[in-house]
Structure 1
Amino acid sequence: MAIHCAKTAGALSLERLKQPILVEYKTSASDLVTAVDKEVEKHVIQAIIKEFPDHGILGEESMFEGNPADYETLWIIDPIDGTTNFVHQQINFSVSIAVYHKGEGLVGVVYDPSRDELFYAVKGQGAYLNDRRLGLTKQVKLEEALLCTSVFWNKRAEQIGIDQIVKRLAGKVRGMRLLGSAALEISYVAAGRLDGYVSMSLNAWDFGAARIIVEEAGGVATKMNGEPLPFDQKSSVMACNPAFYEELRQFLNLEGK
């Protein structure tokens, strides 16, 4: 069901790209929402409620009428993760859908409609990219790692000095990248295209599905300080190959305190 919702939502977003896109600002000129975001979220919500009327939904555009906290089973959805990319580039955006039961992640789906790439995982059953099973078995050293981060323009990161730590980290690792879609970036860690991802202040719908995928692929996903990730709250996120997880965690936290 989650895969079906993600694929139909992705198809809808691609169809709407053929038409002029109405763009609105949320909090600033860099925080965008489009009519397509709202339409896609509504489409997904309707499909879920029709099949599972007793489930709750936590979505970026807050179009679910109930209180997500009242439900044991919660769908966490981002209709278009990477709206700025959707508007400007028409690539590097994704549909993110996760299912949690009593706070435990059961299903994670991240679909990139522009490339027709489906990342998905079911708890205890592994992670996949289309039909290929994903597994982080390569022993990667931190200095060999290709990392991804979005901390450089985060105000909280500046306040506590994490941005400067990550700049030093950039000089230690093989390279740094930024795609502009957290769900895709974390999924890329699961696929081995990136070795690690670090970010401050992500919303639950940004990482809810992808963290399940990276964990089922054998990776590690926690807060930047090593604490467990919440499932329904904003949080920092560190997801990476387990071979250098502890070294990365210590680099980020011991140098910055």
Structure 2
Amino acid sequence: MQTSSLTALKELALQCARSAGKLSLARMKEPFTVEYKTSASDLVTAVDKEVEKHVVDMILQRYPDHGILGEESTFTGDPGKYETLWVIDPIDGTTNFVHQQINFSVSIAVYHKGEGLIGVVYDPSRDEIFHAVKGEGAYLNDQPLRLERQVHLEEALLCTSVFWNKRAEQIGIDQIVKKLAGKVRGMRLLGSAALELAYVAAGRLDGYVSLSLNAWDFGAGKIIVEEAGGRVTTMRGTPLPFDQKSSVMACNPAFYEELQHYLSMNENM
């Protein structure tokens, strides 16, 4: 894809992220409905749906021939039929949006023929926008991000949602991660996978591990971490899909092999 085309896509992705973030902050101050998806801990709000439709409309107005894969399924076409696919999560961290009103984000990625080209993660509560274009590096607002610090696993600050995953308990990976927690410097959980991946790119976290994320959760963060010099794969060490649910492991490259070996001790992942 030509540089001019990438620049236009990046500018629209940034515009969509900021506009979506502004809308979510405005709606947060008003009464809104909260619904359950699969359980009381799996929430969706009317704001999620409104924000996604807002972003979808912005994209299709500019690129009517593009496909969109979004959490709220606002786009009615078949995402698999499009060469250029936008992968979006209007509010990643809906529970935080409802309860805390911080630690949620807008995640927007652009993939072309399965290759990640552009990633944007916007934290509207802090007005921080993490973004990357393939081959052009990663940025936080206008500051370049580069993971150059050599971090040993025992010095690492990791983030994981594994402890709250029922399948992790069933296959025993939660016990492996609990042992890992005793080996590293500390463990955190923010509740927004896109934001947590962006924090890995920024060096605020050294690694992130999840047993099961949807494509819209990691689509943008993967690109940003890789452009910052980090490693992102499945927990098995295989390439991430761009349009399917997957385990995710993202980290500073200095301890990637050690972390991947540690996690791969469970054959059922």
TM-score (norm 1): 0.99
Match status 1:220 vs 2:231: yes
Matched, 1:202 2:218: no
For residue 158 of structure 1, report the CA deviation from its aligned partner.
1.2
> 2:208 is paired with a residue of what secondary structure?
strand
For 1:225 and 1:155, locate their aligned partners in 2 and report how far apart those are by CA, in whole Å.
Answer: 19
Secondary structure in 2 matching 1:209: helix
Equivalent of residue 196 in structure 2, options 167, 172, 185: 185
How far did 1:127 drift? 0.2
In structure 2, what is the Cα distance between the partners aligned to 1:171 and 1:199?
A: 18
Residue range with higher mean Cα deviation, 13-22 or 88-97: 13-22
| 2:186 corresponding residue in structure 1 | 175
Q: Deviations for 1:153-208, whole angstroms, at most 9, x for unmatched residues?
A: 21221121110000000000000000000000000000000000000110000000
Query: Is the Cα contact below 8 Å between 1:21 and 1:87 reproduced in 2?
Result: no
State the distance in 1 between where 2:197 and 2:260 align.
16
In structure 2, distance between residues paired with 1:49 and 1:131: 27
Match among 246, 253, 257 for residue 264 of structure 2:
253
Q: Secondary structure at the match of 1:98?
A: strand
Partners of 2:134 and 2:170 in 1: CA distance = 37
How far apart, CA to CA, are the structure 1 residues paired with 2:111 and 2:228? 18
Partner SS for 2:68: strand
Aligned to 2:125: 114
> Counterpart of 1:169 in structure 2: which amino acid?
L
Partner residue in 2 for 1:97 = 108
Q: Who is 2:151 aligned against? A: 140
Question: Is 2:21 aligned against 1:26?
Answer: no
SS in 1 for 2:264: helix
Aligned residue for 2:240? 229
Rounded to whole Å, the distance in 2 between the matches of 1:123 and 1:165 is 34
Query: Using the alignment, how far apart are the partners of 1:187 and 1:193 within structure 2?
Result: 9
2:167 corresponds to: 156
Runs ≥4 residues deviating over 2 A = none
Whether the aligned pair in 2 keeps the contact of 1:127 and 1:213 (CA below 8 Å) is: yes
Cα RMSD, aligned residues only: 0.5
- What is the percentage of aligned positions where both structures have the same residue? 80
CA distance in structure 1 between the partners assigned to 2:193 and 2:239 by the alignment? 18
Q: CA deviation at 1:92?
A: 0.1
Contact 1:208 1:231 in 2 (8 A): yes
Q: CA deviation at 1:148?
A: 0.1
1:8 and 2:19 aligned: yes
Q: Which residue of 1 aligns with 2:59?
A: 48
CA distance in 2 between partners of 1:37 and 1:98 (Å): 17
1:91 aligned partner, one-letter code: I
Compute the displacement of 1:21 (Å).
Answer: 2.0
Deviation per CA, 1:46-74, whole angstroms, max 9, x where unpaired?
00000000000000000101000010000
Question: Which of 129, 134, 141 lines up with 2:140 in the alignment?
Answer: 129
- What whole-Å deviation, never above 9, does each CA across 1:72-99 have from its counterpart, x for those lacking one? 0000000000000000000000000000
What SS class does the counterpart of residue 107 from structure 2 fall into?
A: strand
User: Which structure 2 residue ranges, 5 or more long, are not aligned?
Assistant: 1-11
For 1:14, the aligned partner's letter is L
